[in-house]
Chains A and B, each alone.
Chain A
């Protein structure tokens, strides 16, 4: 009975890729969100839907599409939130400018502290 519990009865035809293509596929999978999980990539997730998405990506690669085409295909099916790397566009600009803003702000503070005149009374 337990064997039955542990056993999934689905038979899936897996697409076998050449090693270089498989590495490319895993690179894409690492940056694609599993849509039914909490913040996991489809490479890492064990959810059935992640398995379907992995197969979809492998099939697309096997069909000779390049990485950008695969991503576009994913976005058209699942929406923008499928990509874990937010694209650089107007509404994500604050996100990508954040490091620069923090560095400039902090740098200004630091250079202010550096230039401060030494005081006579010490401390």
Chain B
């Protein structure tokens, strides 16, 4: 019954989205205040309510372990803890696509409430968002229905991939999708602005809060994913330049560029065409991300749901969205207007450089991710493009950007002002050689890029502090204070990430060893002793838990688990965190030695200053939220002033 009702609700949501598209379009043609626009709003509410109800039903089916539904049978198990039954609703392909649709509908309704101020512009944006909704709801209904039945129903489910049964991963997809799909609102508003022949400034003003909110969620989602990879995948990496990570990194980079260029467009009318183009491109790359992850064209450590046929569907949706967006752009970009010129050391020039570097990085990631596929299609000998390529080709661009970041907030608009800005930053400059010397001393033999990255990290942090000290007292309204604080925090966060990454790049080599009870290994000046291994079974797995004592610290207890339902082994890492960094231990299989005693494979690593990465990401997210608050406050004031 739940399944039939769910199917029905999804079909209804598709119909409501189509109605929303047509009605709002007519409403926009009639100036945005017509009854049609109002009816479009109601349709959008209907799409939201039906898709939310369908999602609730899917969760209910998981709680009941209704294995007559293929998706539930494929991703759940009666023995699984309730929390992971609920989160499994978005742990696989069909459920996560339903979540994608739900968020699309949510943003559709949000645009009807808080979209562009001008009524026709808003109705047009609602209509275009409905186009994006219809594409994805159509995909659900015709190719990827989470409520498809399985006949005969199995007695037991296949369980969710055990490494996905994790608190961080439970919240990672919703946040990531809030980001990906949030960019759809920026897309819809940008395309609507083009159709309405709005000026670049109007479009930038309308899409700024949406871009900011989406990009902030994307930051949070990616960070959670990186954190999860760090402690769950069992080898201590946090960024692998893996195709699936790259798929989320491209929209993130473009989103970061958009958030900055929209400021220049709104305030000065600079880069109008570029800002609108970015808004369109960012969402198109989000769909490309979904395509890369879901189609299986590129193999990846994170691809948990693969199906080539679905890939064709997603590719078609990608094509429709791209043709619609860029088609309108080609026809109407002329109406956006042109910016005035500016000096090479003005704020605009630095925002332009920021955009240049971010977009070029996104381009490199794009080329590197798709090149193996491209070569294969042309029939050449296969090529692997792995982390060493991205480290060499993309990281230097980000390093140069870090050099410019602290200066930009001190520059005036339009006119050159390098000299006063650098004078104000003098204290931060003095810190730089100290930082370089410190880093070289602490991590002697660190790679060059790590030393540069670390020094620039200190530079970015110092610049952010000085920016806050100067801009916060000068801000004349609450909104401006929020904006200044947000900027300083996000830029400081960048510095922390640079320092954390530099420290990680110069970490000591891992130690792999087979240890018996009572034996020990050394890493980073600490002695790790395997003192005990005992059984520690959970509700849906069997486990061996080792106790490893660390000299001068708390003991860590890595586990090796066996999930019987999925027939899969996993490693739970033992982490000993301190200010200096993390002791990171994972334990492998047991083996007999020649003398009959049992030894365990132990892999130990030391990750210096890894907490800085988490702190940096958190600062960027909080900074983004503060900037978003500023946008909302400013909007409220504007509405109060408007007649």
Interface residues of A (CB under 8 A from B): 2-3, 5-11, 14, 19, 22-23, 26, 30-31, 33, 37-41, 43-44, 46, 79-86, 91-92, 94-96, 98-99, 102-103, 106-107, 109-110, 113-119, 123
| Distance of A12 Cα from B544 Cα, bound (Å) | 22
B380, closest chain A residue (CB):
A91
- Whether the Cβ atoms of A39 and B299 lie closer than 8 Å is yes
Interface centre among B234, B270, B271, B386 (most CB of A within 10 A): B386
| Distance of A87 Cα from B120 Cα, bound (Å) | 54
CB-CB under 8 A from B589, the residues of chain A are 6-8
Interface residues of B in 335-388 (CB under 8 A from A): 337-344, 348-349, 352-353, 355-356, 359-360, 363-364, 367-368, 371-372, 375, 380-388
| Distance of A11 Cα from B594 Cα, bound (Å) | 9
CB-CB under 8 A from A99, the residues of chain B are 360, 363-364, 393-394, 396-397
| Distance of A5 Cα from B560 Cα, bound (Å) | 12
A118, closest chain B residue (CB):
B340
- Whether the Cβ atoms of A22 and B367 lie closer than 8 Å is no
A84, closest chain B residue (CB):
B386
Also in contact, A107 and B356, with CB within 8 A (given A2-B562, A11-B591, A95-B367): yes
- Whether the Cβ atoms of A114 and B341 lie closer than 8 Å is yes
Smallest beta-carbon distance A10→chain B, Å: 7
- Whether the Cβ atoms of A114 and B301 lie closer than 8 Å is no
- Whether the Cβ atoms of B384 and A84 lie closer than 8 Å is yes
- Whether the Cβ atoms of A31 and B388 lie closer than 8 Å is yes
Smallest beta-carbon distance B503→chain A, Å: 17
CB-CB under 8 A from A119, the residues of chain B are 338, 340
CB-CB under 8 A from A92, the residues of chain B are 371, 383
| Distance of A30 Cα from B338 Cα, bound (Å) | 48
- Whether the Cβ atoms of A96 and B385 lie closer than 8 Å is no
9 A-B pairs, CB-CB below 8 angstroms? A6-B590, A9-B592, A31-B386, A84-B385, A85-B388, A103-B397, A113-B274, A115-B341, A117-B340
| Distance of A3 Cα from B340 Cα, bound (Å) | 73
| Distance of A2 Cα from B339 Cα, bound (Å) | 70
- Whether the Cβ atoms of B359 and A80 lie closer than 8 Å is no
CB-CB under 8 A from B591, the residues of chain A are 7-11
12 new A-B pairs (CB below 8 Å) besides A7-B591, A117-B341?
A2-B535, A8-B591, A38-B299, A40-B240, A40-B301, A46-B234, A84-B387, A84-B389, A86-B383, A102-B364, A119-B338, A119-B340
Also in contact, A46 and B588, with CB within 8 A (given A38-B299, A119-B340): yes
A87, closest chain B residue (CB):
B383
| Distance of A81 Cα from B201 Cα, bound (Å) | 48
Q: Is B334 an interface residue (CB 8 A)?
A: no
- Whether the Cβ atoms of B270 and A113 lie closer than 8 Å is yes
- Whether the Cβ atoms of A38 and B301 lie closer than 8 Å is yes
| Distance of A7 Cα from B396 Cα, bound (Å) | 45
Interface residues of B, dominant DSSP: mixed
Interface residue tally on B, bucketed by range: 35 or more
- Whether the Cβ atoms of A94 and B371 lie closer than 8 Å is yes
| Distance of A102 Cα from B359 Cα, bound (Å) | 8
Also in contact, A95 and B384, with CB within 8 A (given A23-B509, A44-B237): no
Q: Is B143 an interface residue (CB 8 A)?
A: no
Mask, B105-119, CB within 8 Å of A = 1, is 000000000000000
CB-CB under 8 A from A102, the residues of chain B are 359-360, 363-364
- Whether the Cβ atoms of A81 and B363 lie closer than 8 Å is no
Shortest Cβ-Cβ A-B pairs, 4 listed: A84-B386, A85-B388, A102-B360, A38-B299
CB-CB under 8 A from B235, the residues of chain A are 43-44
- Whether the Cβ atoms of B349 and A114 lie closer than 8 Å is yes
CB-CB under 8 A from A107, the residues of chain B are 356
- Whether the Cβ atoms of A5 and B385 lie closer than 8 Å is no
CB-CB under 8 A from B509, the residues of chain A are 19, 22-23, 26
Also in contact, A86 and B385, with CB within 8 A (given A22-B509, A94-B371, A102-B359): yes
CB-CB under 8 A from B371, the residues of chain A are 86, 92, 94-95
- Whether the Cβ atoms of B352 and A114 lie closer than 8 Å is yes
- Whether the Cβ atoms of A79 and B382 lie closer than 8 Å is yes
| Distance of A117 Cα from B353 Cα, bound (Å) | 20
Q: Is B324 an interface residue (CB 8 A)?
A: no
B508, closest chain A residue (CB):
A23
- Residue of A7, A11, A84, A98 near B388 (CB, 8 A) is A84
| Distance of A28 Cα from B566 Cα, bound (Å) | 34
- Whether the Cβ atoms of B544 and A6 lie closer than 8 Å is yes
Q: Is B449 an interface residue (CB 8 A)?
A: no
Q: Is B38 an interface residue (CB 8 A)?
A: no
Interface residues of B in 216-251 (CB under 8 A from A): 233-235, 237, 240, 242-243
- Whether the Cβ atoms of B337 and A123 lie closer than 8 Å is yes
- Whether the Cβ atoms of B386 and A41 lie closer than 8 Å is yes
Q: Is B582 an interface residue (CB 8 A)?
A: no
Interface centre among A3, A19, A82, A102 (most CB of B within 10 A): A102
Mask, B498-514, CB within 8 Å of A = 1, is 00000000000110001
Also in contact, A33 and B367, with CB within 8 A (given A9-B592, A39-B240, A103-B356): no
Smallest beta-carbon distance B598→chain A, Å: 8
Smallest beta-carbon distance B454→chain A, Å: 20
Interface residues of B in 70-105 (CB under 8 A from A): none
Smallest beta-carbon distance B267→chain A, Å: 12
